[in-house]
Every structure is written in structure tokens, then in C-alpha cells.
Structure 1
Amino acid sequence: MDALPYALEDVLIHDFYYFYWFYKPWSIRTLMTKKVLTENGVQIHIIGAGGIGSNLIALLLPSLRNGIVSEQLGGITFHLHDADIVEEKNLVHQRFSDVQIGVSKVDALAEEYDLIHPSVRVIGHSTNLRHSKPLVNADIIVVAVDRPEPRRIVHSLNEVEWYDLRCGLDSCLILTHKTHFDDIERLTPTHKPASCQPDDAIETGNIQFGSALAGTFGANIILRSLMNRIDGKTNVPGPMCFSMNMGIVPVFLKTNNSVPFDQKPPTKSSEKWTEEEDDVLLKQAERGLTLERIANHHRRSHGAIWHRFLKICGFKKPLNNEVGE
């Protein structure tokens, strides 16, 4: 038998490098760019890779695949922080598939989206956030977990752009680094860790999409922030509480510009509510009208509508001074 032109070992090594160079996303050519990208460009840390975080990543990363935004910023690196693994129950409302069951959530997302463009990195950190040290290089931080501890860690950071995304049923709440401190404190009480789905929602099939709503808001905010870093004029959305059923919900007491600028002042702010108005208000809520439509109909502020609704439903004790609410 004629001798092989190469030793078998040399052939295997040649084929190995050929395959990884041309076909694998984790190839040698991408390895050469990893160190540069993780040290330069925009560093974005996302705390939580569940209902909110996975939806945010699944929406935002494909929008960066052409590299137009990331190349102008010297690259973008996403750091995902979450110790959870993918479970079957996650598949009904989070962006994972059955082949990823048992895999770390952050690793599953990193495998799918890392180097979606050569200037975009996604790095998984399979740990929960316990202190601020992992965030030392952050330019943008997104909190997407329903635990007060990591929220407060991020809230305590100075001179960093952060967004705290929350959800409940069909609603979402966004706090930002521009939210008034008193509002942040009031809206961040101590509580046990919670799921983005209510009890028995998965078992009964009554899935709520507030997490997808929060993820959508988050993806939009981050992309607008990246564009603002490029052109200096793109508007970045601020604090917001939004319900798919009620529209904008006024939960901020001291935060500036947390409601639309064009909101008209109420014309009946000093008039008492009548029983007829209460009946109409309840019927409008049952029909699913937005808070804005209801407020415009009654010619009262969003806050007056919301507090009146809580009062007539028994969630708020009546006060003597009801005028204007």
C-alpha cells in the first residue's frame, strides 16, 4: 500500500481546523475577535434570563445581526446573569426550546445569539447577582428578575444607565436611573422571589403576557439608547407603567415626565363623583377600555380614574375629602 501523503494525525488536525474555521460560530476566526470585543465597545449586563430577559434577548439580538449599530459603537457585549436551568414549564412563556431543557438559561441564549454578528457578543454567567462587582464595567444594566435584592444593588449604582423591568399579569413597570428616588423606594418593597406567571397559570393554561410586554419595552429602550449613543438625539423612553387593558397607569408621584407631555389637564378635578359616573366607570372597565379613553370621557386625570376605581371596588378606604381625588 502506498504511503499516505500526510500522517493520519496531520489529516485529522487539518480537517478539524478547516471545519471550525468555515462552519462553526465558535471557530478560530471568531476566537480572535472575542478578547477585543469583551474589553471594548458597549457593555450591557442583563440580570435575569427568564420570562422578561429571554424575550428581551430574542427581540433585540436579531435587530443587531447586520452590524450597522454595533460596528459604530466599537462592538456590543451582552453579559447575561442567571443561575437557573431551562425546565419544561419554562417553554410555555420563555424563549427556549425542548432541546435546551437541562441547560443553563444563559448558556442556551449565548449559544443561540453569540456572534450573531462578528461585533456582537453574548456571554453567559451562570450565577445570581449577589453584589455589584460583576457590573464594574457596565455601560447599561437591565434588571429582569422579581427579587428586591438585585434590584437594590443596581439602584445603588451611580453614574450608570440602568433599567428595572417588571411585570404582572398583562402589565409592566419600568423604573430607570432617572426615576425619582422616593418613587424607587416606594415601588421596591421587600418581598419573596416571585414568578412572572400567577399561581396555577401554567397548569391551567391561563398564561399571562406581561413578561413579553416588559421584554418588548426593554428591547426598545436598549436599542433607542444605543442609537442615542450614535446620533446624540434619539429619544430614550423613560419610566413607565403600562397595562394592555388599562393603558398608561399613573404610579409615579415625584418622577418627572413619566406621563405623556400632551396629556390635557382635567376639567372636572374639583367636582365630586356621582353614582352615575361610578356605574359608567365600572362598565367601561368591564369592556376593557384603556385608562386614557376612560379619563378623556370623564374629563378627569388618569390618577383620579385609577384611585376612584380602587375605591368603588373596595381596595381603598373612602376618605372624607373625595373632591378631585
Structure 2
Amino acid sequence: MRALLSRCFLGSLRALSGPGCAPQNQLVTQVAAGRRLHLSRKSMQYLTEERGQPNSPDYRIYFKNSEGKYLSPFHDIPLVAETEQMLFNMVVEVPRWSNAKMEIATKEPLNPIKQDVKKGKLRYVANIFPHKGYIWNYGALPQTWEDPNQKDKDTHCCGDNDPIDVCEIGSQVFVSGQVIQVKVLGILAMIDEGEMDWKVIAINVKDPDADNLNSIEDVRKIRPGHLEATVEWFRKYKVPDGKPENQFGFNEEFKDKDFAVKIIKSTHEHWRALVQKQINSGGISCKNISCCESPFKCSEDETRDVVHSAPTFGCAHAVSPEVDKWHFV
């Protein structure tokens, strides 16, 4: 069964990246920073569709392929974008410098991007001086899952039940829902309230610095202070909410690219077991349109019903001025 899934996975990758791909949709326009994209947006071979009102609990970003078929960014976008250079697809959830904690909704059908809610309130990360919001484009690798039932042999912590996180350190600011190809450089072992929460460090392969950044040591040399800032950001970002500082494995040291790829492959295997129903999903929605041998595979009509049942796109809600407050911790 595993071999069959692997062949289907590689086949879908070739279908997406080969010469037979449908042309990119030209209806979607690029917008300047600070402006919002409407209805449909282009992100490589994927389109996104907004539903609900931005800055509200009902806001969702759904994904479609180049043929307009709805899909899950968690399950249907391939992990590997290009095998020879070992490039991975990254789903951007949070643009650099922004505060809204946007994330793949793992427990909702088709796993749209939504803003996290705690105690009935939308979540925003605090501005901890000197940083404004997130200090990288933040997102996730599709087809990965940090299994809460699997204990890491080094940190002795179990996974956080989410796709593996990515910090993209290039110069461009992306938007929520873009799918970009990244080169992995290293990984940080963050421990969040006792759970393993890996942070992959990567760079957009089209970034001007991509050719010069090939390892975590390159980042240390070419971007002095960036890795230290990353550790401090993750250590303190929950402190203004009354939470304790986060901890780290390996004495707060970043592990290299080979170690990162090993962790990514492991989380991909955990995802594979999840989508094949070989393991308890724990409430995660595995509805998909492309995963071979998956009992959760669904029809085009089913996916359309999921999206069309969500509220139509509307005007954005105002954001509280408190979001721009500085915190000194």
C-alpha cells in the first residue's frame, strides 16, 4: 500500500510540474503591500478563494488547482516540489511583519487557512521590541504531520498535531495562501508547552540570496544576528499573553540541512499513516481529492459543497489599535 501511495504521489507531482500543466489563470492581479486580494488569487499553480469577512472568525481562504477544483492545502499539495534540487512546497500562512495568527485549519474539511481563535477572540502575535509581528514569512510544509503519539528520541517530546512549520527568510513579503518553492537550510527544535514544534529555516528558491544561502552556517555568516533573533522571537512571543517562555532542544542550537530533511521525511511518513487511516486522526479532517489509497478521498461535488456552505466574501472588520502596541519583555 505504501509503495502504491508513493507512486501516486510522484505521479501527481509530475502532473503538476510537467509540460502538460494548464496555463496559469490571468484573472488575478498582484496587489501592493497593505491592500487585500479579492475572491481569487494566483499562487503558482494554485488559486485561492476568500470566504467570510477578513479580520473576523468566519474568514477562510480555500484552495483550488489550476483547473478550478477545490483541494486541501494540507493533503493535496505535494510536499516535494522538485526532487533533484530537493525543493519543497511551502504554504504561506502569515506574511512577514503582520500580526494575525493565520493557520491551516487542520480540523475543518479541506483545511482552509483561518485566523486562530482563543477564548472567543482572534489571535494576534504581539510586537516584542524591536520586532513588528512575524519576522519571516511563516507557513507550513504540506503533507507533513507532527504526530502527538510519537515521542522524539532526542527531546523526548511528542508532536504538536500540526503540519511542520517553516520560517522563510528571503527578502520578499508574500501573502496568506501563496504556495512557494523553498530550499531548506536547517531546523530549530522548539518545545511549546511540552510539545515538539519544529521550525524549519528555508528560503524561497527565487530569492536573490538563494544561491548564496545553502546551509545554516551560510545564514549565520551572511545574515548575522538573524538566527539569534529567531530564537529570541520564539522564546518570548507568548509572554505578553501571560504564558511562560518557550524552551528549545539541543541547547538552542540550529541543526543542519541534512538533519532538517530527516525530520521532514519523518513527518511526511506520519502524515501518510494519517491520511491512509492507519492511525487515529484525533479530529483532523483528512478530506482530499488526490491521495491514492486514502479512504478520505472525496468528489468534486463534495468539495464544492464545503466551500459554498461558507459565508460569501465580505468587507473586512476593523482591527483593534491594540495590535500595534509595543511590548518590552
Looking at secondary structure, tell me which structure has more helix per residue. Answer: 1
Q: Which structure has the bigger radius of gyration?
A: 1
Q: Same fold (TM over 0.5)?
A: no
| TM superposition score normalised by structure 1 | 0.26
| TM superposition score normalised by structure 2 | 0.26
